[in-house]
Amino acid sequence: MNILVTGATGFVGRQLLETLGSQTQATVVAAIRSNNNTLSEKVKTVTVGDLGPDNSWYEALDNIDTIIHTAARVHVMNDDSKDPLSEFRKVNVEGTLNLARQAAKTGVKRFVFLSSIKVNGESTSLNLPFTEDDLAAPIDPYGISKYETEVGLFKLADETGMEVVSIRPTLVYGPSVKANFFNMMKWLYRGLPLPFGLIKNKRSLVALDNLVDLIITCTEHPKAANQVFLVSDGEDLSTSDLLRRVAKALDKTAYLLPVNQKLLEILLSFLGKRNLAQRLCGSLQVDISKAKKVLNWVPPISVDEGLIKTTQHFIGTKN
């Protein structure tokens, strides 16, 4: 099997390359934006430029059987573009469908697309997880662009016969994780008291190793064709529990102040942090029983194993 990985220098792409190289017999090609890349010299690369509606992919697609598409304009907390949805559509929708059309023309058999749980929505009621059968309800421009891409890809699959698989991960964590998860580890490592001791929500997370394992499974398994899969670690945690378990993995103590959850939500909203309040206090759960049943897939590592790998890397960067 010959596999093209897009977004090869990204958080997920790097781990994909490493795992594919060590666990499969596939020939892997990494699609990179420019020659100024930071991948190992041992990795076969092809320069493709930015993901966009006018790119020519034909050189990169030569003799490729499967594409794992992780490249995207990523979700950012404070997007300052004048028309964020238009920018997301240009890259994530038009750019991806341009690649997919060329892939179908050149005989690519399967297109594995890294989507987002934001296609389902931003939150769930407690203990009522999202499933693949739920109606799509994206809210922000990033989620809308991922949904529109899925629609276009499955339409293309019907028209051309190229198989499509879409994977919708929850929050991904692992070595080199950035943004909010990194900040959380930094706060706990410093021993800062945090007002999150009474939060009773539940949220699904996915360790990078687990996500990569499902992606690779979806490149090979015949029953993955033309399916959507939600993915998580299979264990949901409250924000309070997550902080305690991250602190334990860091060999630190979590100093969590018992602030009333409703009061915390009101305070954060008053400070203009409504989205942060939702992520800290709201629930977002997914049901991964479809992947288990259809693909016979189970997450290879536990939450605690994933947290240990993540925190060990974080501590290593401090030394």
Percent of the chain's residues with pLDDT above 90: 85
The number of distinct structural domains making up the chain is: 1
Query: pLDDT under 50 in the chain at which residues?
Result: none
Q: Name the residues annotated as catalytic.
A: 142
Domain span at residue 71 reads 2-175+205-234+286-301
Taking the alpha carbons of 205, 208, 210, 216 in that order, is the dihedral positive or negative? positive
Residue 70: inside a domain: yes
- Copy the structure tokens of residue 257: 């102040």
pLDDT at 111: 98
Residue 52: inside a domain: yes
pLDDT at 195: 95
Residue 13: inside a domain: yes
Residue 126: inside a domain: yes
pLDDT at 125: 96
Residue 267: inside a domain: no
pLDDT at 114: 98
Which residue is associated with the tokens 């795992």?
Answer: 19
Residue 214 maps to which CATH number? 3.40.50.720
The arrangement of strands across the sheet holding 236-237 comes to 171-173, 203-207, 236-237
Residue 33: inside a domain: yes
Residue 130: inside a domain: yes
Instruction: Judge whether 230 and 290 are in contact, CB under 8 Å.
Output: yes
Give the predicted TM-score (pTM) of the model.
0.95
Q: What tens digit of pLDDT does each residue of 136-162 get?
A: 999 999 999 999 999 999 999 999 999
In angstroms, the CA 134 to CA 307 distance is 30
Residue 85: inside a domain: yes
